[in-house]
Homo-oligomer: A and B are copies of this chain.
Amino acid sequence: MALAIPAGFKMAGLHCGIKRNPNKEDLSLIVCERATVAAGVYTTNLVVAAPVVWDRERTPSAKIRAVITNSGNANACTGPKGDEDNAQLAALVGQQIDAEADDVLVMSTGIIGHHLPMEKISTGIETIAEKLGNSEEHFHAAARGILTTDNGEKSTGREVTLAGKKVSIVGMAKGAGMIGPKMATMLGVVLTDAELSAEQAQQVLTAVANETFNCISVEGHRSTNDTLLLLASGAAETGPLGDADLQEFQRHLREMCEELAKKIPADGEGATHLIVIDVLGCGSREDAFQIAKTVSDSPLVKTAITGGDPNWGRICSAAGYAGVDFDPSQMRLTINGHLLYEHGTPVKFDEKAASQAIKNSFETHVELSFGEGQEKARFWTSDLTVDYVKFNSEYRT
């Protein structure tokens, strides 16, 4: 897919030596040609990394000049020195592009509890500043620079017409472990050349994150670092977006964020299935979300899908401890269209066909409906495999 890179941004990615593998980018820089609108949504973890503290204080903003991201080291639980290192990163980028450190956002991802290798990163920042460009290749290098255990790049983009002007939107994200909902799921950056105010940018980003990146998990462990940024350069000369165009922009942003968000559990560590959980007929969206999240967090549900087992008892019992009040006799469950449970009693179904439907498809669709109201939520998660356990019991030692 050919991507149109939004005007007003230059970017690059390179290997500076944080990761052992010299073929893997571990530094990513996005530079804004002029003061640019930026919004952010961050982890809700109480234990947060230095870059999250930094960015949270600086968004929304109308004067951001760059986003520097390193992968391979999270700069989390690193104390005052972690904060100093983070500030120095921003200052080093500022020196290269003639900007204030305060106008540089920072993202970090990787291992917790180790100080950043500042010498390698300093040299990397000098080098990367000379490699900036606006081509598709530059974008892909920057998108690779934010990855950790991901199997591949996660990016998307589209051209749309807003206020009569061609506008480009592109996005990048990373997974693939320590993924739990309520923000704290990943790193992501969306760039556009549409003109949004800082308030508009924050408003649409928050709304979209709540239905996309906040509705995914791999194993449900909420990270210390995760960050989703939206940068709007205004270089497409749309002028300030009116309500209708803003709504249209939000619709595109939502579709793109859903596409990026889904890629994360789809590429979850060791995952062999992407599980899509639709919860319908609830009294509130929060109730539906809570049930979807609880079902998605259950290792018994995940391993059933891994094994191609339409084990509906595990799903119904997980719904029962979500902390949401509902009438169990109104619960109805389908998996990939096979009706498995209704009216509080087992339903006769073709176990072999239901099992094959799970085994034959990478995506498993669980639909759980209740008789409490009209509200609903969709949640995406990974299955739980032997490879996940192997990978995470051998990750560090």
Contact = CB atoms under 8 A, between A and B. Distances in A.
A112 B316 contact: yes
Given A317-B222, A320-B45, A303 B389 contact: yes
Interface residues of A, number: 74
A286 to B, nearest CB: 14
A3 interface: no
A214 B390 CA distance: 29
A220 interface: yes
Contacts of A345: 77-82
A389 B390 CA distance: 11
Question: Oligomeric state, in number of copies?
Answer: 2
Contacts of A325: 46
Interface stretch (A130-138, A140-148, A176-184): A176-184
A309 B80 contact: no
Interface in A294-342: 297-301, 303-304, 306-309, 311-314, 316-321, 324-326, 328, 331, 341
Contact of A396 (B81, B311, B343): B311
Interface of A: 44-48, 74, 76-82, 111-115, 177-178, 180, 182, 184, 219-224, 297-301, 303-304, 306-309, 311-314, 316-321, 324-326, 328, 331, 341, 343-346, 351, 355, 384-386, 388-390, 392-397
Given A46-B326, A219-B298, 15 more contacts: A46-B320, A47-B317, A47-B321, A48-B320, A77-B341, A177-B300, A178-B317, A219-B299, A219-B300, A220-B299, A222-B317, A222-B321, A299-B392, A307-B395, A386-B389
16 contacts: A45-B321, A46-B320, A46-B328, A76-B317, A77-B316, A77-B317, A79-B345, A111-B313, A112-B314, A222-B321, A223-B317, A224-B320, A297-B297, A309-B393, A311-B396, A386-B386
